[in-house]
Amino acid sequence: MNPTTSNMTAPSVALVRCSDYELERVTQAVRQAVDLLGGMGAFVQPGQKVLLKPNLVRGMDPERAATTHPAVVAAVARLVREAGGLPLIAESPGGPYSAATLRSVYRKTGMLWAAEESGAELNYDAEGTQVSHPEGQVLHRLDVIQPLLEADVVINLPKLKTHNLTTLTLGTKNLFGLVPGSIKIGYHAKLVDRELFAQGLLDILLFARPALTLMDAVIGMEGEGPSGGDPRQIGAILASADCLAVDTVSAALVGIAPQEVLTTRLAVGRGMTTGRVEDIGILGEELAPLVVHDFRPGIEMPMDPGILPGPMRLLARLVSPSPNGEENDSRGVKAMRVLAQGWVWRQLVARPHATERCIACGFCAKHCPVNAIEIVGGRAIMDPKTCIRCYCCHELCPHDAIELSKPWLGRLLMPR
């Protein structure tokens, strides 16, 4: 059985129009979406502790579209309270995990307002706990924030935006915020490969088991997400008991094939979803009229060997695991694969670099999982040989001073 839904054959996703973040309009849209799924009472019982998990990547103004809008969080919290639940807004943003950090992030992202408006509580408990996770494929033990373990119900409140490792930040990626603070660095260092990291995200999804995922797609982020891109009007709220179903429809909503999202593609391989919009019952609005056809992806989209010149196609294919298992390859093929992996990686994968906006605060160096950054001459310098392209520096820089760029050959062969 699909571990994220009780109806594997036909999960349902509610799709509702919402043009802006005026609170009553958002509340009406959120209520309509949840009602299409049976109402909040289908997910929350009186007296239950309900963890609301927004995307608060760092302390940013909500109008920059990097974080879940406070109006969406307030609207969901209102419905939880109407159902008799006790809503708690909890998140572990990037960087240090402390009460002081949480206070700052809640204030900057509008969560303080959301809590006051809705009667929800804000979490200031910065403790984390390591737990056993027998169902995990790559993460058999997890570090999670304490409120997760104390909650009866988890409601996942992601923001639809681009991401340079997984193509899009959706419901599955949002749950990485359940890992406490700087411990995330260790996860990036351990799960260096993009696919390994995405498998870890699926393990976290299996542990958290959100009862409801409600996507803020009113205004998303395109371009260099998850924090350095540009706001983009989408105009929708999506909701489902199946997180991966929300991810599937959300990708299609912005014109991206659902299985281009790495977590969705790997979830298909694990039997957690089909990754097909056709297998999902969409309630409310029809999808086609709402699709954004010119949504601008991030710099790190999956590579299609078919668009490359002949020699590059061979090298690109060598980067991927052998379909028959590497143990069946000759020594020569194995040697070519090692060379191809290093060379293709260097040519096609974006490198982070500090711009003139860098003030040498050292935040990126402190939180680099492999210590690839030094402050030299008043600017952050990234060592390309050590850098694992996790893009934590780009995501977490308080001054948006880190940009991503490809080598000239990568730009020539894959201009997008």
Terminal C-alpha separation, the chain: 38
DSSP string across 295-310: ----S-PPP-GGGS-H
More confident residue, 320 or 226: 226
Tokens of 92: 């572990």
- Confidence class of residue 49 from pLDDT cuts 50, 70 and 90? very high
Tell me the average pLDDT across 150-179. 95
More confident residue, 72 or 331: 72
Model confidence at 4: pLDDT above 90: no
Tell me the average pLDDT across 400-404. 91
- DSSP letter (8 states) at residue 137: S
Q: What is the pLDDT of residues 308-353, one digit of tens each?
A: 444 554 554 555 444 455 555 666 656 655 555 555 555 656 789 9
**Preceding omega of 158 cis (within 30 degrees of 0):** no
More confident residue, 18 or 338: 18
Nearest C-alpha neighbor of 27 from the set 118, 121, 160, 88 = 118
Q: What is the pLDDT of residues 153-165, one digit of tens each?
A: 999 999 999 998 8
Give residue 224's pLDDT. Answer: 85
Task: Find all residues with CB under 8 Å of 253, minimum gap 6, and list them.
Answer: 15, 160, 217, 234, 236, 238, 287, 290, 291, 292
Instruction: Please state, in angstroms and rounded to a whole number, the distance separating the CA atoms of residues 338 and 326.
Output: 11
Model confidence at 305: pLDDT above 50: no
**12-290: what fold?**
Rossmann fold (3.40.50)
Query: Which of 147-151, 223-227, 285-289, 333-337 has the weakest average pLDDT?
Result: 333-337
Nearest C-alpha neighbor of 118 from the set 87, 84, 83 = 87
More confident residue, 256 or 58: 256
Q: What is the pLDDT of residues 283-294, one digit of tens each?
A: 999 999 999 999
In the chain, ranges of CATH 3.40.50 domains: 12-290
Helix (H) or strand (E) segment spanning residue 162 = strand 159-163
Instruction: Please state, in angstroms and rounded to a whole number, the distance separating the CA atoms of residues 288 and 297.
Output: 19
- Confidence class of residue 380 from pLDDT cuts 50, 70 and 90? very high
More confident residue, 163 or 16: 16
In the chain, ranges of CATH 3.30.70.20 domains: 305-413
Give residue 410's pLDDT. Answer: 57
More confident residue, 416 or 373: 373
Give residue 298's pLDDT. Answer: 83
In the chain, % of residues over pLDDT 90 = 71
Query: Which of 88-97, 211-220, 227-236, 345-354 has the weakest average pLDDT?
Result: 345-354
Give residue 189's pLDDT. Answer: 74
Architecture of domain 305-413: 2-Layer Sandwich (3.30)
- Confidence class of residue 225 from pLDDT cuts 50, 70 and 90? confident
Q: One-letter amino acid identity for 385?
A: K
- Strands, DSSP E only, in 164-301? 167-169, 212-222, 230-240, 281-284
Helix (H) or strand (E) segment spanning residue 266 = helix 262-269
Query: 123-160 as b/e, with b when 16 or more CB fall inside 10 Å?
Result: beebebeeeebeebebbeebbbbebbeebebbbbbbbb
Give residue 416's pLDDT. Answer: 45
Query: Which of 46-55, 105-114, 379-388, 405-414 has the weakest average pLDDT?
Result: 405-414
Give residue 38's pLDDT. Answer: 98
More confident residue, 298 or 128: 128
Give residue 357's pLDDT. Answer: 96
